[in-house]
Amino acid sequence: MESDIIKISHLNKSFGEVKAVSDLSFRVKKGELFAFLGVNGAGKSTTISILCGLLKKDSGMVQVNGIETDKAGAQTKRMLGVVFQDSVLDKPLTVKENLNSLIHFRRLQNIMVFRLRTL
């Protein structure tokens, strides 16, 4: 039986009177490819931000690999790879300079530094 890599149940998030995410539930199984699609204001970015630990949910359950994201902190963030629509790279810098900035600001471990520098 395949396990759920991502599991969201009855997720809710509001910004004041605006309900950004309302009772959202879904599962992503190991090996599945998953994408968020929808019109502007549908709650895609809000859901991804909650999943990545950038925003706090109002209620519901969010798990990555069986670990609740709001209780695990950085542990679940290391398991996720997210590509946003707009690039976060500093355009005046080269790819190498952008990677060196990442290494510096994230204080990555030596093995990660080696992997990034050999790309």
Q: Span 77-87, mean pLDDT?
A: 63
Domains in the chain (CATH in brackets) are 4-77 (3.40.50.300), 87-119 (no CATH)
The per-residue pLDDT for 1 is 45
Residue-wise over 7-37: b if at least 16 C-beta within 10 A, else e?
bbeebebeeeeeebbeebeeeeeeeeeeeee
Helix, strand, coil % over all residues of the chain, rounded to 5:
30, 25, 45
Q: Which of 9-18, 86-95, 106-115 has the lowest mean pLDDT?
A: 106-115
Element of type H or E holding 69: helix 69-72
User: Long-range contacts: 14-21, Cβ < 8 Å, 24+?
Assistant: 14/58, 20/46, 21/46, 21/47, 21/50, 21/57
Q: Span 87-114, mean pLDDT?
A: 68
pLDDT tens for each residue of 8-51: 999 999 999 999 999 999 999 988 888 888 898 899 999 988 98
CB 90 within 8 A of CB 101: yes
Q: Is 114 or 38 the better-scoring residue by pLDDT?
A: 38
